[in-house]
Amino acid sequence: SCRESTMEVVLLHGLLLFLPLAALLLYWYNATFHYFCKVAFFNCWIVAMAILLCPVAALRGRSVKNMKLLRAAILPLKHLYGIKIQVWGSEHLNIKEPYVIVCNHQASLDLMGMVEVMPDGCVPIAKKELMYMGVVGWACWLSGIIFIDRHKREDAIDVISQTARTMRRENLRVFIFPEGTRNQDKSMLPFKRGAFHLAVQAQVPIFPIVISPYWDFFSSKDKKFTSGTCTIRILPKVETRGLSPKDVPELTETVRQAMADVFTEMSANHCGDQCAEQPLLPRR
C-alpha cells in the first residue's frame, strides 16, 4: 500500500542518515575502528597520489627527478594525521658526494619519515614485489626506485653491482631499510648486508638514520593510531673508503649496534632532555 511504501522510504532515509552518524561515533569512540579508518585512508591516499603522479612522471620517463613528485605527494600526510616530525642532525647530509642511507623500519608510517629527510638525487631500494602493485608500482618505477629480488641471490648481487656503478657515475644517493621487513619490537632485527656491500663496492659513506618508536601514537598490534611526535636522528657518516667485501660483516654489525644504541636511548626517554636542549636543525 501507499502507506507502507511511505514508511519504507522514511526508514530508508533514516538508515542512510544513521549510518554516517554511527560511523562518525565509532571513529571518535572506538580505537580499533579509528585505526582501520586511518590505515585505509593512508593506503587510499598513496593510490590516489600515484594515479595523479603517473601521467605527469610518464612525460619525463623513468627518472630520479620524479622522486620530487613522490615526496611532494607523501609530505602532506603528517599534517593530515597530526604527526609532528622533528629532525636532528640534518647537517650531516649536506655533502655533494653519493652515499648510502640506512634506516630502521617499523611500519608504513616510515614513508613519512623517509620523505622528510630524503635529499635530492636519492632513491630507495625496495623489494621487487612492490613493482607489481598496479599504479603504485608504476609510480615507484617512474620515480627511479631500484627494485631488488630478495629471493634470488644472484639477481640481488647483480642489482647491487649495477647500482654501485650508477652511484659513482650519476652522483646518486640510495635509501635502504636493512632490516628488510617491518619491525615494531623494542630492538632492531639483524641487518641484511646488501646496503653495506653496496657502500663498500661504490666506496661511498653510510649515513645511519634512526626513527624513534611510534608506540605513543601508533601500534598495528594494539590497533592504535592517534596524533603524536616522531623524532628522526641522522648520525654522522661511516666511511667505507679502503674497505673490502671481507670487512662487510663487521661494518654491518658496527652500524647496527650504533643505531640500536640510539634507538634504545630514544625508547627510554623519547629524546627527552636532549631534544629540549638542542636547537631544532632545519630540514634540507
Task: Examine residue 146 and state whether it is found in any structural domain, yes or no.
Answer: yes
Count of alpha carbons within 13 angstroms of residue 231, beta-carbon side: 23
State the residue range of the domain holding 143: 21-273
- Whether 10 maps to a domain, the answer reads no
Average pLDDT over residues 105-131: 93
**Contacts with 2 (C-beta within 8 Å, 6 or more apart), sequence order:** none
Confidence of residue 238 (pLDDT cuts 50, 70, 90): very high
The secondary element (H helix, E strand) that includes residue 148 is strand 146-148
CATH number of residue 159's parent domain: 3.40.1130
Reference 232, options 130, 126, 87, 123; nearest CA is 87
**Alpha-helix residue ranges (DSSP H) falling in 143-192:** 153-170
Q: Is 281 part of a structural domain of the chain?
A: no
**Is pLDDT at 9 greater than 90 in this prediction?**
no
Any residues with CB less than 8 A from the CB of 60 and at least 6 apart, and which? 66, 142
Q: What's the whole-model pTM score?
A: 0.85
Mean pLDDT calculated for residue range 90-107? 94
User: What is the tens place of the pLDDT at every residue in 138-178?
Assistant: 999 999 999 998 788 888 889 999 999 999 999 999 999 99
Percent of the chain exceeding pLDDT 90 equals 70
Instruction: Report percent pLDDT > 70 for the chain.
Output: 89
| C-alpha to C-alpha distance for 245 and 182, rounded to whole angstroms | 27
pLDDT of residue 282: 39
Amino acid at 254: T
Which of 116, 122, 123 lies closest to 229, judged by CA? 116
In a domain, 132, yes or no: yes
Q: For 20-79, what is each residue's pLDDT tens digit? A: 777 677 767 788 988 999 999 999 999 999 999 999 999 999 999 999 999 999 999 999
9 domain-assigned: no
Q: Domain tally for the chain?
A: 1
| Nearest-angstrom CA–CA distance, 212 and 190 | 18
- Cell, residue 124: 630507495
Residue 278 forms part of a structural domain: no
Question: Residue 283 domain-assigned?
Answer: no
**For residue 219, is pLDDT > 60?**
yes
- Do residues 86 and 109 lie in contact, with contact meaning Cβ atoms separated by under 8 Å? no
In a domain, 15, yes or no: no
